[in-house]
Structure 1
Amino acid sequence: MPADSRVRSFSFFVILVSFVAIMAHTAMPTPIYAIYSKEFGLTTLQVTEVYAIYALGVIAALVAFNSLSNTLGRRPLLMIGLICSVASNLVFLNASSIAYLFAARLLTGLAAGVFMGTATVAAVEVAPHRFAKHSAVWATAANILGLGLGPVIGGLGTKFLDKPQDDLFLGHLALIAVLVVLLLTTREPLGRSDRVPFSWKEPKPPSENRLTYAGLTMIGVSGMATLGMLAGLTPHFLSSFYPDASGLAAGLVVGCGFGGSALAQFAFRRLTITRGLAAGVCVMSLGLLVLIGAMVFGSGVLYTSAALLTGLGQGLSIARSVQEISLKTSLSERVSAVNLYYVALYTGAAVPVIALAFIEKSFGLTTAGFAFCLFALAFAVIGVLQLGRAGIWRKEPAVDHLEAVRT
């Protein structure tokens, strides 16, 4: 293997592993919220607020650091993300009230927000030739795989560790320390000749293909909001079905959703963009209908099936969306377009979940969940119609790979 290819392969691997580690940390506390609820006397609404503050951190990072990687390079931004993750772990380890949880989750969101846009683009740009065609799929799969591993690790911790709220964050802190060292030895994806003087700009949609971009974003909001609901409220849904449900059970169910998303991105990575999007929307919509059935009949089996189906559908659609955005956006606009896409997704993940908690307080969990599913289905349908207006369903793109993105 040529030296350049070895360097690219190593850098690609480190970026993806770092991406998985950062995103796993965002979902790892989900099964631990039951412990915090007992220690700090948290209500369902407060748990939802702790989850939502993470999404606000994501959005803040995507907006604040939108233009910076085009000036400093991709690697310094990834280092900032790792440092935010270190700080988040330290705050979790010293948590003594809900205020600490808010601070820790905000830092977690900042770390994730830095990685979402920058790591996705960095992975595409540094990918060796054999991974170039599906590099965006690998990057988005790493994102979702981390989200799937996080609650499973958290659930296992609540089952087998005496103090999971300490041991899990210590372990993650050690992992991030190793990744900091490894990242320092990787290749910087953005050449000096491609860097531009710093001028802060808000994330913007690409200057071309905006109708397609809008449709992809609507579908993405539908899927991410559903996974956000699973991550934030699954312990409460399960406890309403099964009063003795454990943190491990909640972690495994949430893991089914995010794990299904990652599985779909790996297993079906050879599907073309159009076919992958169509299949993703269909499977995700089916999952939402099954989720309605789970809440109506109070079935944990249907709820778990719905989590898996919505995850599979979301994985198929988000991978193709990032692939399409990266392929059709110029180098100078690429990070901004991807960042705005994730801003929309995480706004969609936070706002409905907060609204769900308020509706649940007044009308009950089943009614709130039913309203949420209708919201997610409506966004998916609007996204499909937008893509139809853009003509994406009428023909396949002439080029369905990302080799050009790296040049």
Structure 2
Amino acid sequence: MTAPEPHHLPRTRRPGYLAAAGVFAVGMLGTTLPTPLYGLYRQQIGFSELIVTVVFAVYAVGVIVALLVAGDFSDILGRRPILLCAAALAAGSALLFIFEQGLPQLFAGRVLSGFSAGLFSGTATAAVLDLAPPGRRGRAAFAATAANMGGLGLGPLLSGILAQYAPWPLKLPFLVHLALLVAAAAAIWMLPETVHRTRPRPSLRPQGMTIPPAVRAVFVPCALAAFAGFSVLGLFTAVAPDFMATVLDVHNLAVAGAVVFSVFCASTAGQLLMGSVSAAKALPLGCAVLVLGLLLIGASLLAESLPILVLGAVAGGAGQGLSFRAGLTLIGAAAPELQRSATLSAFFVFAYVGISLPVVGVGALTLELGVRDAGLVFAGCVILLVSAVATYLRRRPPAAP
């Protein structure tokens, strides 16, 4: 018996895509909120840079589990229930940080945050597109992208400013996020449901992931580029504030949050740039810009220069955004229709492994080499990976979708 297809409301009855994008941004904001605060947690609890990266990395584990287990649940249960569940998980994460008494709460809070982000990523994107009125699907796609990356960037900016200039630096950012989540939950409740089934509901089963043989030739370079690009996002989100404090002698948390914010803004800009070139050309171009960003990051550590680090953040973010959207487009076009969702899930898994595993390696290297040299080793390894991908793409360019 084939799974019943969702029956959607007519397009004319789907207002509210900007509200859905706002909900998306609020949800993703919480996932990066702790970024400028890890140094304060280290002082309060007492742990190494390696533990900081592990605390950060368990978030990606939560995202991957949510994508693999519940990636298509909103197609079965509806958008609103899954969005409300994601908001509840985000609120649970915020409460664990507010009442934190040590590492167990930090780990648990990050895992819940990962579950929340995994549910928000697919469901909120689908909700934004579902609610777009006729003729505005392109704007809605940009709204979803901006909400995702903008929310991720706003998290460290908000917490950095509050931690630097307001009282209760380890509590107030999460209290503010709780208030935003209450407003987001009210918005979700008022959004029209866009998924209605006219047939019996199928059982909920993990969707898993697959890489069909016909897709592997394009999947491998796209996934490696995504792995490398997300590793740069992970570097800034997990350890950039400590790099800035240790190597560049920049201790202002608001400045640290602003630098991380610039990476995600540049990623959004890079994704927008793909509109002017084909995906087949955008992928190697994004790799080249990503290499430039990594060279600047390495130069900033050698020269101990904050302006060069900011330039590296902007170039690295732009290269990540350009190559990521190109990879998503190429894989989505090449994947068979009946396996597209599972194939894209595999692509996102590679990306989120990239955001977690390399930064744990950086954390381990800091124990032996120090923060500066560990950052240089990271930059060198990722440059080699991206250069190899770019070389492969020059010899065997992917077919344009």
| Of 352, 370, 379, the match for 1:373 | 379
Q: Structure 2 CA distance, aligned partners of 1:358 and 1:265?
A: 32
- Aligned ranges for residues 26-175 of structure 1 at < 5 Å? 26-133=31-138, 135-175=140-180
Does 2:302 match 1:303? no
Q: Structure 2 CA distance, aligned partners of 1:319 and 1:87?
A: 31
Q: Structure 1 CA distance, aligned partners of 2:33 and 2:246?
A: 22
CA contact (8 A) 2:30 2:177 kept: yes
Q: Structure 1 CA distance, aligned partners of 2:211 and 2:283?
A: 20
Report the equivalent of 1:345. Answer: 351
Q: Structure 1 CA distance, aligned partners of 2:257 and 2:318?
A: 17
- Aligned ranges for residues 238-387 of structure 1 at < 5 Å? 238-266=244-272, 269-329=275-335, 332-384=338-390, 387=393
CA RMSD, Structure 1 to Structure 2 (Å): 2.6
TM-superposed deviation, 1:15: 2.8
Q: Structure 1 CA distance, aligned partners of 2:135 and 2:381?
A: 40
Q: Structure 2 CA distance, aligned partners of 1:128 and 1:213?
A: 33
TM-superposed deviation, 1:104: 0.8
Classify the secondary structure of the residue corresponding to 1:282.
Answer: helix
Q: Structure 2 CA distance, aligned partners of 1:223 and 1:162?
A: 35
Give the 3 Å change call, closer, same or farther, for CA 49–211 of structure 1 in structure 2: same
Give the 3 Å change call, closer, same or farther, for CA 224–27 of structure 1 in structure 2: same
Q: TM-score, normalised by structure 1?
A: 0.87
| Runs of 5+ consecutive residues of structure 1 not aligned to the other structure | 398-407
TM-superposed deviation, 1:208: 4.2
Classify the secondary structure of the residue corresponding to 1:165.
Answer: coil
CA contact (8 A) 1:58 1:110 kept: yes
TM-superposed deviation, 1:309: 0.7
CA contact (8 A) 2:53 2:360 kept: yes
Give the 3 Å change call, closer, same or farther, for CA 205–92 of structure 1 in structure 2: same
Q: Deviations over 1:173-220 (max 9, x none)?
A: 121122222223334444526975433331223564332122211111
Give the 3 Å change call, closer, same or farther, for CA 219–369 of structure 1 in structure 2: same
Q: Structure 2 CA distance, aligned partners of 1:29 and 1:54?
A: 11
TM-superposed deviation, 1:327: 4.3
Q: How many equivalent pairs are there? A: 392
| Runs of 5+ consecutive residues of structure 2 not aligned to the other structure | 1-8
TM-superposed deviation, 1:123: 3.5
TM-superposed deviation, 1:222: 0.6
Q: Deviations over 1:72-110 (max 9, x none)?
A: 234332222111101111111111212111111111111
Identity %: 29
Q: Deviations over 1:102-150 (max 9, x none)?
A: 1111111110111223333443454333332465444333221111111
Q: TM-score, normalised by structure 2?
A: 0.88
Report the equivalent of 1:404. Answer: none
Q: Structure 2 CA distance, aligned partners of 1:142 and 1:110?
A: 18
